[in-house]
A and B are shown apart, each in its own frame.
Chain A
Amino acid sequence: MVDRALLIALVRRQPRALLAASLFGWIALTVLDRMLILPAICGASVASADIALTLAVTPPGALMLAWLAMLLAMMSPLLAGPIAHVRLRSLKRRRFRALVMFLAGYGAVWLAAAPVLLALVDALRLLAQAVALPALVLAVLVMLIWQAAPAKQISLNRCHRLPRLSAFGVAADCDCLRYGAATGVWCVGTCWGFMVLPLVADSMHLPLMAVLAMIALIERARRARPARWGFSALASALDRKTPARAT
């Protein structure tokens, strides 16, 4: 289904720490799934009122934990390039601090995106009830429209951006924080369409997340390209070859 050879090459190239972080995220997601915390976020089979009830009785800390586990599992492999950039372009004595600043900026954007995405999912569920269609069908439609939109390719292109990082002092901290936040914004822009799917899926949300994480990893690895309507990003993730730009 996906370009397996590229996927294997990308996984092999991943720093072990990021692979470990991702694996930890998947284990945490599985545990949280069993504890019914994940279904509090993801659960199309449950009626809207029940979701509201589940959300109400699940502590916000646990919900945040589920969200963070999801980020760790799915997004860690996407950050290999930016993390290498931060690490190698920082003084050795400042590397840890630089990474913390970067991750703080990145994580803050994703945390801020969580309520917005959950509200969107709720709206989709309400719309699904109104038009008597499964919410998953609507989510697939939303995802496909976003995939085809030039804005998706623009977001993907911006994910490749490697900004200047100052070497010293507050400027270095600010640059790393800003870079983390910018990466977060373009990452949300790239992935939100995918995230909606498992958020409305029922028991299949974990396998769905795994497939989407693989597609996101391949999409992210492809070179930047002109943004126009179409499915070139998705097609290239599912295709074996990277064709030259035919004219």
Chain B
Amino acid sequence: MPRTRRNVWKLSQPWDDVLLWYARAVGELQTRPITDPTSWASLGAMHGFDRGLWTALGYIAQGAPLPPSAVQARLWQQCQHQTWYFLSWHRGYLAAFEAIVRSAVVKLGGPADWALPYWNYSTDVQSRRLPAAFADTKLPDGQDNPLFTERRYGRGDGTIVIDPRDVMLTALNERYYTGTGPNGATGFGGLKTEFSHFATAGDETHNYNGQLEGRPHNILHVRIGGFDPSDSQQVGLMTNPDTAALDPIFWLHHANIDRLWKTWLQQTLPRTARPDQFKNPADAGWLDGPRDRKFVMPRPDGTEYTFTSRDVTDTTAPALDYVYEEEQPPQPATPVLEARLERLGVAPGRAAEIAGAVVMSPLKEPELVGANDSVLRLNSPDVETAVRLDRGARNDLLESMKRSTLESATPHEPDHVYLNLENIKSPTDAAIIYVYINLPAGANPDDHPECFAGAVSLFGARKATAADGPHGGNGISESLDITAIVDRLHINDALGPELSVKFVAGTPNATDKITIDRVSIYRQGH
């Protein structure tokens, strides 16, 4: 019988036994030296490590022994980001962590079936609050609470305020796991890469997040971690990938992301779906990769093992042995194509017929439709730029959405449209930006959800901006699917020669040094 990972908000509040044992075990792991691979510090360093920063923050004492270089090279700095390994690596990481915590729980006299809870922040107002067990400074017995950290700044004063836009689950509608490449569809799970600790060997153009990684994963990291309002360079643990796993809430956040992966796999397949929709990759590169460095985890006894994506696809297999309390999609998936055809003006019955007749073929290479005219600096709370559309490319896009094209004898799926934010560079990770398309002048963005293109977090951007960092100074890029917005503009005859893109700061006082090399629109056909 697999163990059940429970929703933290469905546990008794504030100190359910599951959380109390978690706190005690975390406290125990925190007493172990960093040279012990099962210590809190070493487990955190497996995600990311920066010796100078860790010393400054007091996580390692000046001159304290570290594990040998060979051990560091195997175990530390493994976290997979901007890659199709994002989900599988973090699942393996969580499983190793959970086994180590459970072993500590048992040693302390706790239950042998202890399982990591998850934080589902996408349901209601309460779900978006930080569970009290993480905000209290003391345990019920008056001892210091190991689940609390002062380096969790939230909005600045330690209060976590999550905006509904931060936790939207649009990623669950992405049909394909693997993205097609830069500029267009980045997939539910990310782009195909080699080992990618924030950058992959051989291709600097792959600096895009997969959809679930981008939203809500990256957003929540920054929303929870935040930064110290008296010194914006001091960011919360969760804000920086090199310290994120030192915050005990990290593991509940990632359990939720892992749960959403399972949820996505249970999306109902439309009648006409290609067999690879809402499925994990069948590519051996994903199943057995990466080729250039192994994923290595510690066992509770300190010995090491390696794993691949293939080993973690089934969470009920003996090696993992868990399920989530909620795995079903929050609402039945809309038959994506049928809904879109209706949106484009095709009568409902006819839309179903066409959707059934459409030739489902792989996405083609993304094609540039237009771009803004200069580097954009986000030096005020809202910044707007005009994206000029090329007449020929725009006509090709419109042609694919025309009713006559959609109702032709051999219909194809109309083009998808992406807003591409190329090479976002930032001296800080602690920023969230909300992006709107053609927001009416002077309008309150909250009143126009139909113009909302998505939220963007700069988690990882600081390192990616460094010229000698893994991204070679290119920053990070984001590709937001704005197909529904463009459909609406098209139907209303409002898709003119320009699109206006507005960037609204989601984190006040954190965006003024952020630049975006180019804001562009791409179309991607089938």
B49 in contact (CB, < 8 A): yes
B66 with A163: CB separation less than 8 A: no
B518 x A244 contact (CB < 8 A): no
- Check A246 against B292 for contact (C-beta < 8 Å): no
Q: How far is the CB of B519 from chain A (nearest CB, A)?
A: 10
The range of chain B's interface size is 35 or more
Q: Judge whether B182 is part of the interface by a CB distance below 8 angstroms.
A: yes
Give every chain B residue within 8 A of A93 (Cβ-Cβ). Answer: 390, 392-393
Does A221 contact B201, Cβ atoms closer than 8 Å?
Answer: yes
**Are the C-beta atoms of A223 and B201 separated by less than 8 Å?**
yes
User: Within the assembled complex, what's the spacing in Å between the Cα atoms of A13 and B181?
Assistant: 13
A246-B73 CB under 8 A given contacts A89-B422, A164-B423, A241-B293: yes
Stretch of B22-30, B152-160, B252-260, B362-370 contacting A (4+ beta carbons < 8 Å): B362-370
Is the pair B370, A167 in contact by a Cβ cutoff of 8 Å? yes
Contacts of A154 in B (CB 8 A): 468
Closest beta carbon of chain B to A175's beta carbon, Å? 10
Q: Mark A204-247, 1 if CB is under 8 A from B, else 0.
A: 00000000000000000111111100000000000001111111
Q: Are B474 and A161 within 8 A (Cβ)? A: yes
Interface: A143 (CB within 8 A): no
Contact B467 A81 (CB under 8 A): no
Determine if B271 is an interface residue (Cβ-Cβ < 8 Å): no
Q: Which of A84, A88, A157, A168 contacts B468 (CB 8 A)?
A: A157
Does the CB pair B183–A88 fall under 8 Å?
Answer: yes
B292: which A residues are within 8 A, CB to CB?
Answer: 5-6, 241-242
Closest Cβ neighbor of B68 among chain A residues: A246
Contact partners of A244 in chain B: CB under 8 A: 72-74, 76-78, 197, 293
Least Cβ–Cβ distance between A61 and chain B, in angstroms: 36
Identify which of A88, A243, A247 contacts B51 (C-beta below 8 A): A247
Q: Are B471 and A224 in contact, CB atoms less than 8 angstroms apart? A: yes
Q: With an 8 A cutoff between CB atoms, is A68 at the interface?
A: no
**Contact status B368-A221, CB under 8 Å:** no
Contacts of B203 in A (CB 8 A): 13, 81
CA distance A31 to B205 in the complex (A): 36
Nearest A-chain residue to B373, judged by Cβ = A166
B520 CB–A CB distance under 8 Å? yes
User: Is B373 a contact of A242 with CB atoms below 8 Å?
Assistant: no
In the bound complex, what is the Cα–Cα distance between A245 and B367 (angstroms)? 37
CB closest chain-B residue, reference A13: B202
Q: Which residue of B lies closest to A92 (CB)?
A: B367
Q: How far is the CB of B126 from chain A (nearest CB, A)?
A: 40
Q: Tell whether, in the assembled complex, residue A164 and residue B468 are in contact, meaning their CB atoms are under 8 Å apart.
A: no
How many CB-defined contacts (below 8 Å) exist between A and B?
130
* Contacting pair A9 B73 (CB below 8 A): no
Residue pair B375, A164 in contact (C-beta under 8 Å): yes
Q: Is B204 an interface residue (CB 8 A)?
A: yes
Q: Given A81-B203, A164-B423, A241-B292, do A90 and B368 touch, yes or no (CB 8 Å)?
A: yes
The answer to whether B471 and A168 touch across the interface, beta carbons within 8 angstroms, is no
- The smallest C-beta distance from B66 to any residue of chain A, in angstroms, reads 7
Contact B291 A5, beta carbon cutoff 8 Å: yes
In the complex, residue of chain B having the shortest beta-carbon distance to the beta carbon of A3: B292
Question: Which residues from A are CB-within-8-Å of B371?
Answer: 166-168
Separation of A95 and B47 alpha carbons in the complex (Å):
40
Known contacts A88-B182, A89-B368; is A81 also within 8 Å of B293 by CB?
no
Query: Restricting to B5-49, which residues have a CB under 8 Å from any CB of A?
Result: 49
Q: Which residues of B contact A (CB under 8 A)?
A: 49, 51, 66, 69-70, 72-74, 76-78, 181-183, 194-195, 197, 199-205, 291-293, 365-368, 370-371, 373, 375, 388, 390, 392-393, 422-423, 467-474, 517-518, 520
| Extra A-B contacts (20), CB below 8 Å, given A5-B292, A241-B292 | A9-B202, A88-B365, A89-B518, A91-B390, A91-B393, A157-B468, A157-B472, A160-B473, A161-B467, A163-B517, A164-B422, A167-B368, A167-B518, A168-B373, A223-B200, A226-B468, A227-B468, A244-B74, A244-B78, A245-B77
Sorted nearest first, the 4 A-B pairs with minimum C-beta distance are: A160-B472, A246-B69, A224-B472, A167-B371
